[in-house]
């Protein structure tokens, strides 16, 4: 379910339309000769306003129009309704998976505003729960690493376990089999030196019931060869680790992603044909291989945009080549995002996306309930 601002505030849409009608009436009163000219100017201004809402232009100095107008009546004088519309959003929104594995998912998200795309990114980083070591009871530590540093290193070891199998532990409650896991670490170096790795963490079930519940997929570190400490002859580490469910906004050890980032879809247009030596120079100045050469039927060469997604908008094509004078237009689509999500390993990247989308849906439903409750509490006019 979704609701636009104008479903809550219908007077805004009326205001936009009334101002536009008044403007048209003033144009007609100015005379039949001047009205067509004014109308053409308004249409050109409207096209420019719509383009600036969706296209980010770049020149040698940098972005020219990075902002996007969110106020519903900002284009009322041009007879444009800038209000958010759910039906229009539903028709234009799309997600296209470009590559997918357990470690990495890349996809295109289009037809959505930057705040919503960034909210999805932040949910994946900070609000999808995982399981990590939360408390360490140290029985013996004669290594060179202090107890606090050792406990911190243990907490950062990612654990492969489905967090939905555990309950949330209240701050004042004890660890038990319903809200936590338990690992033991006991390594002794008898002579020479010995490395302590994540594979030395051994799961210790709280009870036979828990051991039976997770026997087919027991909790283990994501990678067995994570170095925790190094011991010399006679040194020993013995501790007990308690794991619980948490989220990344509380501590980074619970964040399920290595990186979750996006960039805007590059839009590169050649408004004029770039041929001959100029085409060769344009291809040579681009460090990312965005441009290529196409042979013309009657001989000669012409530059084409072969790999627009590789563009990093370094603007070498504008600075070293003077692309603006040659008809090269460098831009980005403000509502088309190229996402890359890399999982740490606790949760496969495709499942991480599904969990983030469900969390996003829960947030939207909470916002709807708050808005509806406020609307009910408002006194009638």
Strand partners, 46: none
pLDDT tens column, 266-307: 999 999 999 989 999 999 999 999 999 999 888 889 999 999
Ranges 22-26, 51-55, 352-356, most confident: 352-356
Q: CB count, 10 Å around CB of 253?
A: 20
- Measured CA to CA, the distance from residue 164 to residue 214 in angstroms comes to 13
- Residues 186-235: pLDDT tens digits? 999 999 999 999 999 999 999 999 999 999 999 999 999 999 999 999 99
- Cβ distance 2 to 364 under 8 Å? yes
Q: How many CB atoms lie within 10 A of CB 130?
A: 26
With cut-offs at 50, 70 and 90, classify the pLDDT of residue 1: very low
* Chain centre distance of CA 34: 49
SS3 assignment for 238-259: EEEEEEEEECCCCCHHHCCEEE
- What percentage of the chain exceeds 70 in pLDDT? 89
Mean pLDDT of the chain: 87
């Amino acid at each position: 379910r979704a609701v636009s601002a104008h479903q809550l505030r219908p007077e805004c849409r009326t205001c936009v339309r009334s101002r536009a009608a008044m403007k048209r009436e003033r144009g007609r009163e100015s005379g039949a000769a001047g009205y067509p000219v004014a109308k053409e100017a308004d249409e050109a201004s409207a096209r420019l306003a719509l383009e600036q809402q969706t296209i980010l232009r770049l020149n040698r100095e940098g972005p020219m129009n990075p902002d996007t107008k969110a106020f519903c009546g900002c284009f009322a004088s041009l007879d444009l309704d800038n209000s958010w519309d759910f039906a229009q959003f539903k028709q234009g929104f799309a997600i296209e998976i470009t590559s997918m594995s357990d470690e990495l998912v890349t996809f295109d998200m289009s037809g959505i505003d930057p705040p919503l795309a960034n909210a999805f990114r932040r949910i994946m980083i900070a609000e999808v729960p995982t399981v990590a070591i939360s408390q360490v009871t140290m029985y013996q530590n004669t290594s060179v690493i202090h107890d606090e540093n050792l406990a911190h290193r243990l907490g950062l070891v990612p654990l492969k376990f489905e967090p939905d199998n555990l309950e949330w532990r209240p701050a004042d409650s004890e660890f038990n089999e319903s809200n936590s896991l338990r690992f033991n670490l006991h390594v002794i170096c008898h002579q020479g030196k010995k490395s302590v790795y994540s594979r030395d963490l051994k799961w210790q079930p709280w009870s036979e019931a828990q051991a039976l519940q997770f026997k087919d997929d027991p909790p283990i570190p994501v990678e067995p060869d994570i170095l925790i400490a190094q011991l010399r002859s006679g040194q020993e580490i013995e501790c007990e680790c308690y794991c619980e469910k948490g989220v990344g906004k509380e501590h980074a050890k619970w964040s399920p992603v290595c990186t979750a980032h996006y960039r805007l879809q590059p839009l590169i247009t050649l408004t004029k044909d770039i041929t001959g030596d100029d085409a060769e120079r344009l291809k040579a100045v681009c460090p990312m291989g965005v441009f290529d050469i196409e042979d013309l039927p009657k001989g000669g060469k012409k530059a084409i945009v072969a790999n627009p997604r590789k563009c990093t908008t370094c603007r070498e094509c504008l600075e070293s080549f003077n692309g603006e004078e040659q008809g090269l237009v460098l831009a980005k689509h403000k509502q088309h995002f190229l996402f890359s999500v890399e999982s740490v390993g606790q949760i496969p990247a495709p499942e991480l996306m599904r969990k983030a989308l469900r969390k996003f849906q829960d947030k939207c439903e909470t916002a709807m309930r708050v808005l509806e409750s406020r609307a009910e509490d408002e006194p009638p006019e």
